[in-house]
Amino acid sequence: MLTRAVITRLGCMSTKITMAPTGVLLVPNDPIIPYIEGDGIGVDIWPAARRVLDAAAAKYGRHISWKEVLAGEKAFKETGEWLPEETVEAFRDHLIGIKGPLTTPVGGGFRSLNVALRQLLDLYVCLRPVRWFAGVPSPVVHPEKVDMVIFRENTEDVYAGLELQEGTEEARRLIAFVQEEFGWTVRADSGIGIKPISETGSKRLVRAALQYAVRRHRRSVTFMHKGNIQKFTEGAFRSWGYEVARDEFSDVAVSWEDCDGQPGDKILVKDAIADITFQQVLTRPDEFDVIAATNLNGDYLSDALAAQVGGIGIAPGGNINYVTGHGVFEATHGTAPKYAGQDKVNPGSLLLSGVLMFEHFGWQEAADDIIAALERTIADKIVTYDFARLMEGAREVRCSQFADAMVERL
Ligand code: NAP
C-alpha cells in the first residue's frame, strides 16, 4: 500500500510549498499561502480566522506569508473578471490556498466560482470533517457521538454539468438518440442530464479516504451509494471501492464480508445505501467514521451532518488533489450578505478550514491548540449570535471579539 506522508521541513529556506517527486508535500516554516478574502461576510470572518491561525502558528516558530488573490465581487470590481487567471495561477503555483465564501455570479460565465476552481485544479476530494465541540447547541440528544469525516467526490456525478434544457433542439436530439440506440423512452418534454461516475474518479477518491483512515488511525470507511437503483454508476462506485480496499489496502483494511464485522486491528470497510445512511447517521452515529461518497450524496450528507453539530457556521472544508498536492481550504457556508460588514457572524467555518489546512501540513500541534482554544471559548459561553440564540446564559460577542477570546485561550 502506498501512503503519502506529509512532512514539514523545518528550517527550510524556501517559502513556497512544493511537492517532492516522491509525492510528499514539503511545507517550510514560512510558507506563502494565497487567500481569497471572500464576498459578503468574508470581510468579517477572514481577518478573525487569520488572527487565530497566525497566533497558533507563531507558538511553534512558524510564520505564514499570506498573499491576497482576487475572486468574486472584489475581483470583478477591480479587474472586470470574476475569477482572474492570475488567481488560478497563484493557487496552481503555491499548491495550497484558503478562501472565504464567494457570490455566485448571476448570468456570469461560471455556474459557480467554487465549482470552477475545483475543476480547474482537479481538486477531486472534498474533505468535510464533522465533529461536535462541547457546549455547541445541537438538535440531537448525543451530538458527542458524531465524529465523521466525509470524502465527497468533487469532479463528476451530476455536477459534471452535462444537462440539456427541456424543449431545446439538443434535448430533442438526445432523447431521440437514446430511443433509437437503446430503446429508452424519455418523455418529450423532459430536461435531460448525464451522470458520469468513472472508475478513475471513484478509485482515486476511495484511495484518498483509505489513506486518510490509515494516517489518522480511523476505525472504518463506509462507501455511501445508491447502488440498489443506479447499478452502473452508484453501484459501480461501491464495487470499485471494494476493489481498491482489497487490491491496495489488504494489509491494513478488511471488508465486512471478509471478516464478518470483526476487523481486529484493521480498518473495517463497509457500505451503506444512501437513504438508510441518512437515518443511521442520526440514530447510530458512532457506527460511522470515514465516509466515501459520490458527489451529490456527499453534498447532501455534509450539510445534514453539519446540522447535527452546530450548523454551517462551524463546518470546515478542504478541496484536495493528493496526487498533484493542490488544495483549497474553504468556508462551507455562503456569503450571508445580510450580515456583511457587521462583525457579527461566526468565523468558525473558515477558521476550522485553516485548522484542516494545518493538519494537512502536518502542523498538528498548532491545529490541536486551536481546537482546544475553541473548546475553552465555547465552554466559557463566549459565542457569536448564531450560538447565543440557542444557548442559555451565553455571552454574545462580535466576530472579532470571538477571535480575541480564542487568541487569549491559545
Ligand atoms: P449563506 O450565505 O450560507 O447563508 C445562509 C444562512 O446561514 C445565513 O443567513 C445565516 O443564518 C447562516 N450563516 C451563514 N454563514 C454563517 C456564519 N459564518 N455564521 C453564522 N451563521 C451563518 O447561504 P445563501 O444566503 O443561500 O447564499 C448567499 C450567497 O453565497 C449566494 O451568492 C450563494 O451562491 C453563495 N454561496 C457560496 C458558497 C461558497 O462560496 N462556498 C456556498 C454557499 C453559497 P441566519 O440567517 O439564520 O442567521
Gap between the Cα atoms of 219 and 289, Å rounded: 7
Place of cell 465581487: 73
Amino acid identity at 27: V
Burial 53-87, CB ≥16 within 10 A → b, else e: bebbbeeeebebebeebbbbbbbbeeeeebbbeeb
Gap between the Cα atoms of 295 and 257, Å rounded: 26
pLDDT value, residue 1: 38
- 290 CA to middle of ligand 1, Å? 26
pLDDT value, residue 33: 97
Kindly list the distances between the CA atom of residue 16 and the CA atoms of 91, 132, 165, in Å, as whole numbers in the listed order: 11, 34, 45
- 336 CA to middle of ligand 1, Å? 4
Amino acid identity at 248: E
- Ligand 1 pocket, residues with Cβ under 6 angstroms: 41, 45, 101-104, 114, 312-313, 330, 333-336, 345-346, 349, 386
Gap between the Cα atoms of 131 and 314, Å rounded: 10
Packing angle, helices 199-215 and 234-248, rounded to 10: 50
195 is an active site residue: no
Ligand 1 atom at minimum distance from 349 CA: 18
If one counts every other C-beta atom within 10 angstroms of the C-beta of residue 351, the result is 28
- 232 CA to middle of ligand 1, Å? 35
pLDDT value, residue 311: 81
Among 35, 124, 159, 385, the active-site one is 159
- 340 CA to middle of ligand 1, Å? 10
Gap between the Cα atoms of 310 and 130, Å rounded: 10
Q: Which of 46, 114, 303, 335 to mutate to test the pocket of ligand 1 (most atoms within 8 A of CB)?
A: 335
pLDDT value, residue 113: 85
Per DSSP, what are the bridge partners of residue 260? none
Among 67, 231, 247, 275, the active-site one is 275
226 is an active site residue: yes
Per DSSP, what are the bridge partners of residue 383? 396
Pairing of strands 192-193, 163-164: antiparallel
- 3 state DSSP class of 319: strand
Amino acid identity at 313: G
Burial 226-242, CB ≥16 within 10 A → b, else e: bbeebeebbbbbbbbbb
The answer to whether 314 and 387 are in contact (CB under 8 A) is no
- 131 CA to middle of ligand 1, Å? 20
The answer to whether 12 and 28 are in contact (CB under 8 A) is yes
339 is an active site residue: no
pLDDT value, residue 4: 42
The answer to whether 81 and 108 are in contact (CB under 8 A) is no
Give the closest residue (by CA) to ligand 1 atom 23: 334
The answer to whether 349 and 315 are in contact (CB under 8 A) is yes
pLDDT value, residue 5: 43
The answer to whether 98 and 328 are in contact (CB under 8 A) is yes
pLDDT value, residue 105: 67
Closest CA to 25 of 291, 345, 407, 363: 363
Ligand 1 atom at minimum distance from 347 CA: 18
Residue 39 DSSP class: S
CA atoms within 13 A on the CB side of 194: 10
- 3 state DSSP class of 208: helix
| Length of the chain measured in residues | 410
pLDDT value, residue 126: 97
Gap between the Cα atoms of 352 and 316, Å rounded: 5
pLDDT value, residue 204: 98
Question: What are the pLDDT tens digits along the chain (410 aa)?
Answer: 333 444 444 444 458 999 998 889 999 999 999 999 999 999 999 999 999 999 999 999 999 999 999 999 999 999 999 999 999 999 999 999 999 999 886 655 556 888 889 989 999 999 999 999 888 888 999 999 999 999 999 999 998 889 999 999 999 999 999 999 999 999 999 999 999 999 999 999 999 999 999 999 999 999 999 999 999 999 999 999 999 999 999 999 999 989 988 999 999 999 999 999 999 999 999 999 999 999 999 999 999 999 999 888 888 999 999 999 999 999 999 999 999 999 999 999 999 999 999 999 999 999 999 999 999 999 999 999 999 998 889 999 999 999 999 999 99
59 is an active site residue: no
Amino acid identity at 299: D
